[in-house]
Amino acid sequence: MIVCKEQSGIFTLHTRRTTYQMKVNRYGVLLHTYYGPRVRDCDLSGLIRQADRSFSPNPDEAGSDRSFSLDTAPQEYSTCGVGDFRLSSVEFELPNGSHATDFRYAGCRTERGKYALEGLPAFYGEDGETLVIILEDAAAHAAIELYYGVLEEFDLITRAVRVVNRGSETLRLCRCASLCLDFLRADMDFITFDGRHAAERCLNRAPLRPGVQSADSVRGASSHQHNPFVILCDGDAGEDHGLCYGVMLLYSGNFLAAAERDQFENSRLVMGIHPRHFCWSLAPGESFTAPEAAMVCSPDGFGEMSRQFHRAIRTSLIRDGRSRQRKPVLVNNWEATYFDFDTEKLLSIAREAAALGVELFVLDDGWFGARSDDSRGLGDWQVNTDKLPGGLESLVPRLHALGMSFGIWVEPEMVNEDSELYRAHPDWVLQTPGRAPARGRGQLALDFSRREVRDHVYGQLRQVLSSAPVSYVKWDMNRSLTDVWSAALPPARQGEVYHRYVLGVYDILERLRRDYPDILLEGCCGGGGRFDGGMLYYTPQIWCSDNTDAIDRLRIQYGTSFCYPVCAMGAHVSAVPNEQNGRITPLAARGIAAMSGAFGYEMDLGRCTAEEKEEIRRQIATCKAHWELFHWGDYYRLTGSSGPFTAWEQVSPDRRQAVVSLVSGGAQAAPPFLNLKLKGLDPAREYRMSDGGVMGGDVLMSAGYPLPPFRGDYQSMQLFLEAVE
């Protein structure tokens, strides 16, 4: 609910359990008064107390009032150069060379439904509401529109920012954050999700210390190294208690999430496109829209925060019409064959998989051009008929005859120098004049900021997708961007290329969605290097990590689950010893880890023993029978990811069904007996369990489920619960 009291300049956003408020002060500055558990409708600006502080300047209008300073007041969207020395949200280089701007309240409007952003991902919802607050800086001839979307039942508030040049000269916008969030406290922890290729999204938590701390990417993608999702929370917040604020940026390129604890024990979070390498020229009348950010405040710890993000992402961000349906169980040939395959090899993998219940065959890298290894062929999206005689026209019907649908891997943003595309258009890559570009995985990045480049690549993709019925596309991206310079833009506009590249990716993904609405898209960036809310708007699932080891995956999927729902995490059972780390884990543990994800296999199932095949048949049957519980159930983390075992639980929204999954770590001699406390059940009901027992919901939650002793490494348990009528 949006309560807009224009007269008193108070704007209050209420969600089911939270309240967010801003107020225009006597000088027209839009202050942030409150964000937290839901409170009644009232003026909360009394919480802001100010005093004459040395070295914190006072604006001209304040006259002799030395108590007001931009440096000490909580602001809704901070500026720079006129008195606030903390993190700036927006910065221009004005025609006169100044960087100082000072925005004051100029008006507001409300809209029915949640706003959309042209060319950018955004949450949607007809039941949502929109508030737009307009700020102006007369001296800079610029206006800022602050967008707020309220999705009440998810406790989700979205933010976006549109900057307009109202003057007659070009403005250079060198910073434009999507969100600024000020708190009248600094006793909070800052949580970020960090890592590297094959080890993404490890949770890191530390108290805010004086000064600025941040998570960011300048790699052209949101990155394996830091995720555009962060949390600020009470120092003692845990899964089920404590106040926490989760903030995600729906963006897939360079980003900065910076948190600052200031001199007076207040704090500020600013999040948006990374200002490094960013500078956007705004001609008179033009506008720039910053990507959307979304916040959930949970008064009851991380668990509820995550569940609210999951619900919102599943129903109001992911747009795949079939996401309400069961996803096909797939087999992907990558780890089984790498580049070394032909039709017969693929069909033998498919035959074995189909016999066990797999429904979709995904042909990964290596099917096109002269792609015999990863140094050639990217850019030439025509079937390599030496490997696949007769092309997809011949292969796909044979898969259909096995009862399987067909999916294909592409990496449209990239090119190898050894390719027809590069030979024809060497000027289409990102590179700086006079300098040979750096290679990543031996490849260069195409300049996706250019329409003609995208059109060409899309034309090739269309031909492939029209040559045979394709029901799934995996969209990969296997290097960080360097040498980011576009031949299509003048020197003064090179600061736009990173962002235009991301807009280009979104443009082509949108076209794919529009032209092939029935194709299931899976995002990928060397695994989880672009796992963000921006991509999820286009691709309902994302390959979570190139690391398929079940034990490493427990930690990766644990960190990922703080914001993103399990249905969005591509997760496959692969062969042992694991290709990435050589670990040997039981098939049961691999199955349980992958089942809390978009499930599939990435191995030659023909190499499995009869006993393993039986186990695989069971896994697939379980996954099909309980897919709704796994993907649409409320997700509870029962443990952390570094203890003797990792456990989690999904509970159906009506609390009648649940599944508990557990995977243990290395073997222990003389292990203690442990009881695992479940969550989210109905305390009044009794539950029949798949181990044959019956226990009360209250007992399972308060006293716990007695775990069996585990012998050996990486043991696992999957326990289904059904309410007794």
CB nearer to ligand DGJ: pick between 9 and 366: 366
If the CB atoms of residues 408 and 647 are measured against ligand DGJ, the closer one turns out to be 408
Specify whether the CB–CB gap between 346 and 363 falls below 8 A.
Answer: yes
704: left (phi over 0), alpha (psi -120 to 50) or beta: left
CB of 50 to ligand DGJ, least distance (A): 52
**Quick one: CA torsion of 607, 710, 600, 639, rounded to 10 degrees?**
-160
Q: Which is nearer to ligand DGJ, 280 or 367 (CB)?
A: 367
Nearer to ligand DGJ, 249 or 524 (CB): 524
Tell me the pairing of strands 156-165 and 2-5. Answer: unpaired
C-beta of residue 332 within 8 angstroms of C-beta of residue 632: no
- Pick from 512, 519, 517, 530: nearest CA to 570: 530
Contact 555, 202 (CB under 8 A): yes
Our CB check for ligand DGJ shows the closer of 71 and 417 to be 417
CA-based radius of gyration for the chain: 27
For residues 101 and 174, the answer to whether their CB atoms sit within 8 Å is: no
612 is annotated as an active-site residue: yes
**Residue 455 CA to its chain's centroid (Å):** 27
Nearest to 164 by CA among 24, 289, 77, 279: 289
Q: How far is the CB of 202 from ligand DGJ (least distance, A)?
A: 18
- Let me know if 111 is a catalytic residue: no
- Is 157 or 556 the residue whose CB approaches ligand DGJ more closely? 556
Q: In terms of CB distance, is 379 or 527 closer to ligand DGJ?
A: 527
Q: How far is the CB of 231 from ligand DGJ (least distance, A)?
A: 27
Q: What is the rounded distance in angstroms from the CA atom of residue 308 to the CA atom of residue 561?
A: 11
Contact 185, 49 (CB under 8 A): no
Q: Determine the Cα–Cα distance for residues 183 and 665; give it in Å rounded to an integer.
A: 40
- DSSP at 274: -
Q: How far is the CB of 350 from ligand DGJ (least distance, A)?
A: 17
Q: Can you give the binding site for ligand DGJ, defined by CB under 6 A?
A: 334, 364-365, 409, 476, 478, 524, 526-527, 543, 546
- Could you tell me the smallest distance in angstroms from the CB atom of residue 478 to ligand DGJ? 5
Burial class (CB in 10 A: 0-12, 13-18, 19+), 56: buried
The residue from 340, 612, 614, 691 that is catalytic is 612
Nearest approach, Cβ of 531 to ligand DGJ (angstroms)?
11
User: The tokens 């070295």 sit on which residue?
Assistant: 55
- Identify whether the C-beta of residue 648 lies closer than 8 Å to the C-beta of residue 636: yes
Least Å distance between CB 529 and ligand DGJ? 8
Closest residue to ligand DGJ, judged by C-beta, is 365
User: Counting every residue, how long is the chain?
Assistant: 725
Nearest residue (CB) to ligand DGJ, 188 versus 593:
593
Cβ 427 vs Cβ 492: under 8 Å: no
The nearest distance, CB 195 to ligand DGJ, in angstroms, is 15
User: What three-state secondary structure class fits 60?
Assistant: helix
Options 411, 532, 546, 552, the catalytic residue: 532
Written as six digits, the tokens of 325 are 């349906």
Q: Which residues belong to the active site?
A: 532, 612
